[in-house]
């Protein structure tokens, strides 16, 4: 048995995994013993440790990973200390992820020596779209050689199996398969969705569900067995790192602890179910394998004692750490913008008047010529027609299909992917075809984009431009003529521009590009061509290429 074990996974890795498993167990036990001290409702990784550690050990500092709220073992495996995690558990000011702003195990990190992690929300499954946006961005960066990597980066998106039923998860899977992105979707299946059983929630598991996405590769694994999990995840990473294609790994796990500290196992689980899950405890399985391989039980008991001592010491230290100062509560709602003054030439001598729609096209064209990190995508914006209002006409032909391209009808993906694209250093300009159809993307706009800078403690502002044709023009009717500005204006963390003339449009669009925050450009369809009676003043002399109009600094000159 010892030789077989050694051939698969080294003894050093097995002991490292056992140490991390016992550390995760000690942390979960301490949290349970100190429920009155813990500030937030929290989850732990008990029952999921094997697959999470097997994943963590494959990740490099050039990779990206999006853990979900049960993934503390991934965080331990990539090098975070219990003390750092506990700072978030106890909502302390030095919480490295959110500065005390977020629930436990909601990480974000730009640490140079670790895989990168964008902001993680509590909305189950919603991380799939921003994380697929990271993979989309990496593919773009490599295609245009905007950055050099030592090794091809791999993106990992972790999620629970019951969240796979979310519609936005399917949008992410569809886009990853359609564009063959370098991403692993790690689905951890413990058969529960809070108190909802798999029989109540789904017709099949994720492995069978994703079979319909052509081009999406898939694997199964017993996620309670570390040795099997390590081997499978190594193959998964090698495949995506080499082939640059998407892959779904479906890992069967167990739920040993509570769903959360607020929804306790005794509320909804009977003893038979608990017994079944405890029988597959990853720590006990690995302990048995180590004993069979010749490791002394005394050595394993010493690991249990040392990890408990470590967890206790870190918890006591975290309890005594400084709380956030109340006066910092409004920090990071927005990232500071460099665009604070009107610059450039608004009315060049001898210039001609242009319509608003052309001002936007010219502004984007000038930006894309200057900035290779800029790209434009959305429904029907590509070369074939250049937008249903011709608002992107000529751009597809000038910049090619990799920089200006059509998307599926996926408003959530169009909007939410910009979080991931921005995180890797790109500047996505995207379009929702009609304001009336922004609603499927509102979840991503509010849950992921608007909160990203705030809940990542300033690490991940989302720098994007979301173009939204709005208002009435012609005979649009009730589903193509809506005005949604009052809804959008209530979303904290985003900026809105609503230009009334061509000069303002061009200047504001340039300001939006250089602003590190998310910006929605509301573009009134009735002003696009100044064909509606009373809109002639929307035409102005076209500003010079260097003209920038900061938000909130100047009233319209129209």
Q: Catalytic residue numbers? A: 480
Query: Hey, how many other C-beta atoms are within 10 angstroms of the C-beta on 319?
Result: 13
Q: Say how far residue 257 (Cα) sits from the centre of its chain.
A: 26
- Residue 309 sits at the vertex; the CA angle it makes with 308 and 312, to the nearest 5 degrees, is 85
- The candidate with the shortest Cα–Cα distance to 309, out of 82, 123, 102, is 82
- The candidate with the shortest Cα–Cα distance to 8, out of 284, 216, 267, 233, is 233
Is residue 515 within 8 A of residue 339, CB to CB? The reply is yes
Is residue 215 within 8 A of residue 180, CB to CB? The reply is yes
Cα gap 137→143, rounded to integer Å? 10
The single-letter DSSP state of residue 447 is I
Reported as type and span, the H/E element at residue 431 is: strand 427-431
Q: To which residue do tokens 């909007």 refer? A: 415
Is residue 435 within 8 A of residue 196, CB to CB? The reply is no
The single-letter DSSP state of residue 268 is T
- The candidate with the shortest Cα–Cα distance to 282, out of 47, 56, 57, is 47
Per the document, the length of the chain is 558
Is residue 60 within 8 A of residue 85, CB to CB? The reply is no
Cα gap 291→303, rounded to integer Å? 14
Cα gap 290→354, rounded to integer Å? 75
Cα gap 498→500, rounded to integer Å? 7
User: Phi then psi for 374, rounded to 5 degrees?
Assistant: -90, 135
Cβ-in-10-Å burial (0-12, 13-18, 19+) of 422 comes to buried
Cα gap 313→425, rounded to integer Å? 39
Q: What is the dihedral of CA 406, 411, 413, 414, to 10 degrees?
A: 50
Q: What radius of gyration do the chain's Cα atoms show? A: 26
User: Phi then psi for 249, rounded to 5 degrees?
Assistant: -110, 120
């Amino acid at each position: 048995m010892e030789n077989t074990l050694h051939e698969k996974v080294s003894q050093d890795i097995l002991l490292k995994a056992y140490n991390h498993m016992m550390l995760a167990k000690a942390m979960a036990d301490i949290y349970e013993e100190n429920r009155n001290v813990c500030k937030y409702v929290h989850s732990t990784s008990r029952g999921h440790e094997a697959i999470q550690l097997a994943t963590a050990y494959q990740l490099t500092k050039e990779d990206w990973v999006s853990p979900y709220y049960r993934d503390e073992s991934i965080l331990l495996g990539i090098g975070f200390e219990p003390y750092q995690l506990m700072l978030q558990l106890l909502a302390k000011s030095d919480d490295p992820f959110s500065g005390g702003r977020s629930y436990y195990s909601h990480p974000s990190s730009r640490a140079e020596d670790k895989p990168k992690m964008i902001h993680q929300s509590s909305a189950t499954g919603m991380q799939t779209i921003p994380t697929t946006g990271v993979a989309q961005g990496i593919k773009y960066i490599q295609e245009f050689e905007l950055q050099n990597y030592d090794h091809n980066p791999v993106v990992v998106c972790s999620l629970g199996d019951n969240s796979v039923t979310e519609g936005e998860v399917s949008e992410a899977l569809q886009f990853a398969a359609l564009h063959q992105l370098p991403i692993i979707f790690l689905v951890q299946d413990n058969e529960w969705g809070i108190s909802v059983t798999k029989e109540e929630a789904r017709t099949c598991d994720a492995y069978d569900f994703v079979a319909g996405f052509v081009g999406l590769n898939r694997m199964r694994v017993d996620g309670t067995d570390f040795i099997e999990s390590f081997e499978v995840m190594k193959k998964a990473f090698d495949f995506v790192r080499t082939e640059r294609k998407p892959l779904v790994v479906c890992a069967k796990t167990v739920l040993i602890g509570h769903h959360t500290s607020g929804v306790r196992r005794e509320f909804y689980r009977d003893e038979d179910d608990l017994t079944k899950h405890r029988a597959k405890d990853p720590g006990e399985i690995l302990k048995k394998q180590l004993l069979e391989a010749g490791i002394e039980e005394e050595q394993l008991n010493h690991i249990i004692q040392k990890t408990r001592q470590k967890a206790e010491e870190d918890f006591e230290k975290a309890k005594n750490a400084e709380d956030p100062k109340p006066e910092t509560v409004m920090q990071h709602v927005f990232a500071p913008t460099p665009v604070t003054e009107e610059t450039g030439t608004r009315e060049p001598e001898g210039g001609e008047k242009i319509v608003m729609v052309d001002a936007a096209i010219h502004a984007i064209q000038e930006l894309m010529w200057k900035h290779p990190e800029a790209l434009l995508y959305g429904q029907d914006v590509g070369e074939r027609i250049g937008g249903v209002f011709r608002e992107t006409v000529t751009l597809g032909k000038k910049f090619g299909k990799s920089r200006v391209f059509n998307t599926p009808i996926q408003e959530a993906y169009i909007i939410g992917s910009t979080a991931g694209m921005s995180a890797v250093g790109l500047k996505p300009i995207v379009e929702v075809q009609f304001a009336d159809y922004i609603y499927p993307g509102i979840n991503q706009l509010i849950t992921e984009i608007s909160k990203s800078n705030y809940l990542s403690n300033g690490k991940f502002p989302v720098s994007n431009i979301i173009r939204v044709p709005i208002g009435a023009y012609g005979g649009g009717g009730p589903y193509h003529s809506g005005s949604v500005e009052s809804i959008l204006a209530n979303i904290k963390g985003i900026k809105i521009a609503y230009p009334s003339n061509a000069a303002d449009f061009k200047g504001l669009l340039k300001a939006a590009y250089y602003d590190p925050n998310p910006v929605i450009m509301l573009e009134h369809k009735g002003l696009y061509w100044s064909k509606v009676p009373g809109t002639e003043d929307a035409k102005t002399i076209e500003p010079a290429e260097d003209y920038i109009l900061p938000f909130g600094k100047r009233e319209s000159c129209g």
